[in-house]
Structure 1
Amino acid sequence: MNVFVFHLVSGDAFLTGNAMLVAALLGIASGRMVVQRLASLCGIFGLLLMVMTAVPGNGLYYFAGAGLGISWMIWRFHFRSSRRFGTIFIVVVIAFVSLSLANELSGRRRPDFDEPAPRTLVIFADSLTAGISENEAITWPNLLSRKHSIRVIDYSRMGATVGSELKRLDELALVDGVILIELGGNDVLGATSVPDFERSLNEFLSQVTASHQTVVMFELPVPPTFNRFGSVQRRLARRYSVQLIPKRELAKILASPENTLDTIHLSQPGHEQMARSVWDQISFAFQPVP
């Protein structure tokens, strides 16, 4: 994963886009023609970055962003002499930046746990966790079990989707502890539609949270134009009080060439970094060692 792709899928480009919008406003306020023209370009590119980064948001948010870009061009080329129009536009931009930052930063918080759970971790995951058959790496669930004295029940398997694991739920034991979900990558990269993904994830979370266990889910670092998958994740996580591990954590691991075999499946160093990252995110969910 190259630097630019990581910047997009991690959500960092969204923050860059917001910074470019603010810089554009400052440039326009300078009153210098050359600076104002550069600022206009900066603002347009900032909006493009914000859209490309696929930050979870509803259609109204992206419609507002598109409207902002069109308004920007209208102002610069037709109403730039109107101070009233300019003032209104700047206020709208500041409000848009503030709301968009609040939305994104709220999704970057690490999981917060109210009560410590028994030292058992139940994992539902795909081949990112299970590994691939020809790779003999010690997977990160095994590393967690060895290093941190917790019981790990690993239900990960190659090719798993949210829908396929939903069908298996009745056959699997959900013991007291923490449930960790690392699913959805095959849905995004495969043929699963957003409505089907939402239906499956809604039912899956409904069942695993029914016994009031602590549930944690990896947020998907989705590529551009796939933001609806991320929106579904965040919305359902709020509905069922599921803690999200920020997508930047997974993107950061996949970004390093030495951590993957094929940009998706983890190598041994990748499993080791994944184990460290997961423990850093969920360690406070468990009761201390007796």
Structure 2
Amino acid sequence: MLTRWLVFHVASGQSFFTGAACLIVAVGLSALARRPYLRILRNTLVFYGVTLIFLSATPLPPWFEILLVLASLSWVAGEAFRGRLPARVVLGLRVAVAILWAGAMLVEGPYHLAPTVPQLGRPILGIIGDSVTAGTNQSKVKTWPGVFANRHDVVVHDHSLAGANVASALRQANSVSSDELLVLLEIGGNDILGETTPAKFEAGLATLLSAVRRPGRVLVMLELPLPPTYNAYGRIQRRLARQYNALLVPKRVLLGVLQQQGMTVDSIHLSQAGHQNMANAIWAVLQGAYDEKPRRSR
């Protein structure tokens, strides 16, 4: 249970906030670090803070990452040579590091909030996805788009295809009709798990978003959970989401389904229970687009 929670905490990016908080507390403890046990506590917090931040693969802007690293290293050096530096310099380093990490939390925070989808009446939902949506040819499994459509009495066009990546999904985009005013993109996992370079990922995703964007259509995209050191893919996805006005769904939504016991058959592909829960999770994000009562033909 603890392992499952820890994996979710890290993969969802929430560990970034825990790690940043550890560093801020460590800075505060520095003023009392003449006591040995407080120095040990401070150093422990720094170690765990840096580890949690690294594992979170949080895609901050590169210039901000460099600034955070340089400021933090300067602070550590300042504490090591505190006896040789003016007290105001050491204090300035502490204040600067605390402010920068607090600012980083404020910058990252909005990406962990669910987007507000505008009301569109009873829009036809188009889905571009990979095997998380399309399934793995399990004959008795009803995939979540079908569950979503039946449960909420809405029209869903599922264009997803097992094995799809951002480049091959362009074929899916070309099959999206003009009356699909709400389009959800669950795509990119195969790029992360495969051999797609960041440059090819950016080119493919930009082409895909350009193909599906049109006046009056709302695009919603699931943010990708990232392994450590894969920050570049997250930066690309966030930048292109802003560029093409796509609403970005926090990665915790998908992970909240995948990390529950019994929701997958292989830790990635959904079981029948997983498809049921995925339909619930997507409805929680998209329900603002729909009227409260379905329009049934008489």
Q: Same fold (TM over 0.5)?
A: yes
1:10 Cα deviation from its structure 2 partner: 0.4
Q: Deviations over 1:29-65 (max 9, x none)?
A: 3354221342133124312321221011222232223
Matched-pair contact (CA < 8 Å) for 2:176–2:212: no
* Aligned mate of 1:67, from 67, 70, 76: 70
Who is 2:87 aligned against? Answer: 83
Inter-partner Cα distance in structure 2 for 1:135 and 1:266: 13
Q: Which runs of 5+ in 2 are unaligned?
A: none
Q: Deviations over 1:7-39 (max 9, x none)?
A: 211011101101101221222233542213421
Inter-partner Cα distance in structure 1 for 2:60 and 2:218: 25
The alignment partner of 2:42 has SS state of helix
Who is 1:15 aligned against? Answer: 17
1:56 aligns with 2:64: no
1:6 aligns with 2:8: yes
1:232 Cα deviation from its structure 2 partner: 0.8
Number of residues of Structure 1 aligned to a counterpart in Structure 2: 290
Matched-pair contact (CA < 8 Å) for 2:75–2:97: no
Matched-pair contact (CA < 8 Å) for 2:33–2:42: no
1:220 Cα deviation from its structure 2 partner: 0.5
> Given the two structures, how large is their TM-score scaled by the length of structure 1?
0.93
Who is 2:154 aligned against? Answer: 150
Amino acid at match of 2:93: F
Amino acid at match of 1:72: W
Between 1:24-33 and 1:182-191, the stretch displaced more is 24-33
* Aligned mate of 2:220, from 192, 216, 220: 216
CA RMSD of aligned residues (A): 1.8
Inter-partner Cα distance in structure 2 for 1:74 and 1:171: 58
Amino acid at match of 1:28: S
1:184 Cα deviation from its structure 2 partner: 0.3
Between 1:222-231 and 1:24-33, the stretch displaced more is 24-33
1:2 Cα deviation from its structure 2 partner: 3.4
* Aligned mate of 1:255, from 256, 259, 264: 259
Amino acid at match of 1:7: H
1:185 aligns with 2:189: yes
Amino acid at match of 1:93: V
> Given the two structures, how large is their TM-score scaled by the length of structure 2?
0.91
Matched-pair contact (CA < 8 Å) for 1:117–1:176: no
Amino acid at match of 1:284: G
The alignment partner of 1:162 has SS state of coil
The alignment partner of 1:136 has SS state of coil
Who is 1:26 aligned against? Answer: 28
Inter-partner Cα distance in structure 2 for 1:135 and 1:82: 72
Inter-partner Cα distance in structure 2 for 1:234 and 1:163: 18
The alignment partner of 2:248 has SS state of strand
* Aligned mate of 2:170, from 161, 166, 170: 166
Cα gap change, 1:168 to 1:138, in 2 (>3 Å): closer
Who is 1:284 aligned against? Answer: 288
Q: Deviations over 1:187-235 (max 9, x none)?
A: 1001111111111111211221123301100001111111111111111
1:108 aligns with 2:107: no
The alignment partner of 1:278 has SS state of helix
The alignment partner of 1:2 has SS state of helix
